[in-house]
C-alpha cells in the first residue's frame, strides 16, 4: 500500500518514452506534483513514527496498533482511485493520511521484536521485518499486470482487499509477548523469556535528552538516514527511471522493479541468518559484524550508484547495477536495522520511532530532489546524473561515519529510568511494611 503508487503513477500520468499503449490517461500532474504525491506518504509517515512507539509500549500493545493501522490503511487504499480522480489536493491529503497510519507500523514492530527475539536470533527477526521488501516485489510485479488488464484503479483495489484479509490472519496468530500467546509450548515460552532481559515495565518515560545526545545513537541516526535515502530513492525513482530513461514497458517496469526488491528481501533473510550463525559460533564479534555489514549495506551500493551516472552503457548494464546495489544493501539487516537493539532493549520502540522518522525524512526529500533534476528531461540518462551522485554521496558518507562513531554497547541511559523506578518501588514496599 506504500509502494504501489510508484508503478501506478506510470499509468496514471502521461509518460513520454513509452513503447506501448497503457490504460487511458485521466490525470495531468506535473513532475513536481508527482513528487509531492509520492512524498506525501512520507510526510504523514514521519508524524506517525513519533506516536507508534508510545502507543505500542504504553497503551495498546503492538498487536492492536498494527491491526488498526493496517485496517485503516486498507480502507484508504481502496478510496485512492476516487481521490485521484477528484483532484490532486484530495489525493495528496489521502496519501498523507495513509502515511500517518503506516507510520505506526515500524515502531510497533520494533517493540514486538524486542519481546520475542533472543539476541542470537535478532538477525532473522530483523531480516523478516526489513524483508517485507518481498511485499514490494509482489506489489510491483502484479501492478503492471493489473494495470494492463483492468486499468490503474486495480493497482489500488487489489492490495486494499488483500490488506483487509491480512488483518484477520494477524489478529488470530500474533500476540504481544510469549507469556500471553495461547499457541506456543511452555518450553518455547521459557526459552524466549529467559533469553530476553527487558526490565522496563509500565509507563516509564524514555530518557529523550540522553538518547539525543548519545554519540552511538546519533551515528545510528545518520546511517539510518542513508538507509532511507537509498531505499526510498529506488522505491520512488526506479519505476520512473526504468520506464522513462531506459524505455521499459509498463509490465516489464513493474516486474523488474519488483525483482529488485525480491532479491533484496532474499538477501535480508540470508544475511540475517548468516550473521546469527557468525555470532553463535563466535566467528565475529558483534562490533566487527555491524561495521563490516555497514560497508556492504551502504558504502558499496553507494559506489555502484556512481556508475549509473555514466551515460556509456546499455539498459541491461544499468539494470544489473541497480539490482546488485540493492541486493548488497540487504546487509542493512545486520547494520542499521539491528544496531538499535544493541544500544537499548528497554526503549527500543522509542529509538525505533526516531530512527524510522529519519528514514522517512529521507523518503520525503528524495523524490523532490529527483523531480528537480529530471523535470525537463527525464527520458535521458544524463538528466539523472546529479541524482545518482547525490544518492551515492549520502550512502557512502553515512556508512563511513558509522564505522568511526558507531557502537554496539548497551547505553547507560537504558537503565536510568528503571533505576529510579526501582527505588520508588522499594520505598513503596518499605512504607507498606511500616503500615503493617
Residue 62 contacts residue 112 (beta carbons within 8 Å): yes
The structural domain count of the chain equals 1
Residue 257, CB-side half-sphere exposure with 13 Å CA sphere: 37
For 379-417, the pLDDT digits (tens) are 677 778 888 899 999 999 999 999 999 999 989 888 754
> What pLDDT, on the 0 to 100 scale, is given for residue 416?
53
Please state the pTM of the whole predicted model.
Answer: 0.69
Alpha-carbon span 104 to 427, nearest angstrom: 36
Alpha-carbon span 134 to 99, nearest angstrom: 19
Beta-carbon count within 10 A of 405 CB: 14
For 14-63, the pLDDT digits (tens) are 555 444 444 455 677 877 788 788 778 878 887 887 777 677 766 788 88
> What pLDDT, on the 0 to 100 scale, is given for residue 15?
54
> What pLDDT, on the 0 to 100 scale, is given for residue 425?
43
pLDDT of 365 > 80? The answer is yes
> What pLDDT, on the 0 to 100 scale, is given for residue 295?
96
Is 242 among the domain residues? yes
> What pLDDT, on the 0 to 100 scale, is given for residue 252?
67
From the list 372, 392, 225, 400, the residue with the least C-alpha distance to 309 is: 392
DSSP character at residue 182: S
CB-based contacts of 310, cutoff 8 Å, min separation 6: none
Alpha-carbon span 338 to 245, nearest angstrom: 35
What is the CATH classification number for the domain harbouring 281? Answer: 1.20.1250.20
Residue, of 161 and 385, whose pLDDT is higher: 161
Is 6 among the domain residues? no
For 275-311, the pLDDT digits (tens) are 888 988 889 999 999 999 999 999 999 999 888 778 7
Is 187 among the domain residues? no
Q: What's the domain range around 348?
A: 29-180+204-424
Is 379 among the domain residues? yes
Is 199 among the domain residues? no
Tell me what the mean pLDDT of segment 252-267 comes to: 74
C-alpha cell at 25: 490517461
Is 436 among the domain residues? no
Tell me phi and psi for residue 217, to 5 degrees.
Answer: -65, -45
Is 188 among the domain residues? no
> What pLDDT, on the 0 to 100 scale, is given for residue 154?
86
Is 191 among the domain residues? no
Residue, of 236 and 294, whose pLDDT is higher: 294
Amino acid at each position: 500500500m506504500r509502494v504501489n503508487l510508484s508503478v501506478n503513477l506510470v499509468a496514471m500520468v502521461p509518460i513520454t518514452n513509452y513503447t506501448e499503449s497503457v490504460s487511458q490517461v485521466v490525470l495531468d500532474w506535473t513532475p513536481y506534483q508527482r513528487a509531492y504525491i509520492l512524498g506525501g506518504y512520507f510526510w504523514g509517515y514521519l508524524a506517525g513514527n513519533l506516536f507508534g512507539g508510545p502507543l505500542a509500549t504504553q497503551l495498546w500493545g503492538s498487536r492492536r496498533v498494527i491491526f488498526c493501522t493496517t485496517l485503516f490503511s486498507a480502507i484508504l487504499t481502496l478510496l485512492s482511485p476516487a481521490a485521484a480522480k477528484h483532484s490532486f489536493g484530495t489525493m495528496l491529503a489521502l496519501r498523507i493520511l495513509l502515511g500517518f497510519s503506516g507510520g505506526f507500523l515500524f515502531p510497533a514492530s520494533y517493540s514486538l521484536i524486542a519481546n520475542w527475539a533472543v539476541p542470537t536470533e535478532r538477525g532473522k527477526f530483523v531480516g523478516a521485518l526489513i524483508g517485507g521488501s518481498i511485499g514490494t516485489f509482489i506489489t510491483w510485479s502484479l501492478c503492471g499486470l493489473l494495470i494492463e488488464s483492468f486499468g490503474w484503479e486495480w493497482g489500488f483495489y487489489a492490495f486494499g482487499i488483500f490488506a483487509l484479509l491480512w488483518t484477520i490472519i494477524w489478529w488470530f496468530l500474533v500476540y504481544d509477548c510469549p507469556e500471553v500467546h495461547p499457541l506456543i509450548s511452555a518450553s518455547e515460552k521459557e526459552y524466549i523469556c529467559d533469553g530476553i532481559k527487558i526490565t522496563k515495565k509500565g509507563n516509564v518515560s524514555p530518557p529523550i535528552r540522553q538518547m539525543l545526545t548519545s554519540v552511538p545513537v546519533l551515528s545510528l541516526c545518520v546511517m539510518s538516514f542513508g538507509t532511507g535515502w537509498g531505499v526510498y530513492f529506488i522505491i520512488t525513482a526506479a519505476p520512473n527511471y526504468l520506464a522513462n530513461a531506459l524505455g521499459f514497458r509498463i509490465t516489464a517496469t513493474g516486474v523488474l522493479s519488483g525483482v529488485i526488491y525480491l532479491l533484496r528481501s532474499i538477501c535480508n533473510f540470508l544475511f540475517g541468518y548468516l550473521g546469527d550463525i557468525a555470532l553463535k559460533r563466535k566467528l565475529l564479534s558483534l562490533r566487527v559484524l555491524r561495521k563490516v555489514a555497514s560497508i556492504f549495506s551502504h558504502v558499496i551500493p553507494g559506489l555502484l550508484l556512481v556508475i549509473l551516472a555514466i551515460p556509456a552503457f546499455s539498459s541491461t548494464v544499468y539494470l544489473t547495477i541497480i539490482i546488485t546495489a540493492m541486493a548488497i544493501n540487504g546487509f542493512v539487516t545486520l547494520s542499521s536495522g539491528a544496531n538499535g537493539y544493541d544500544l537499548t532493549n528497554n526503549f527500543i520502540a522509542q529509538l525505533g520511532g526516531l530512527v524510522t522518522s529519519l528514514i522517512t525524512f529521507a523518503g520525503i526529500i528524495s523524490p523532490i530532489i529527483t523531480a528537480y533534476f529530471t523535470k525537463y528531461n527525464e527520458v535521458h540518462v544524463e538528466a539523472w546524473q546529479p541524482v545518482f551522485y547525490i544518492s551515492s554521496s549520502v550512502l557512502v558518507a553515512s556508512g563511513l561515519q558509522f564505522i568511526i562513531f558507531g557502537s554496539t554497547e548497551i547505553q547507560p541511559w537504558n537503565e536510568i529510568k528503571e533505576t529510579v523506578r526501582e527505588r520508588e518501588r522499594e520505598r513503596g514496599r518499605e512504607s507498606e511494611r511500616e503500615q503493617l
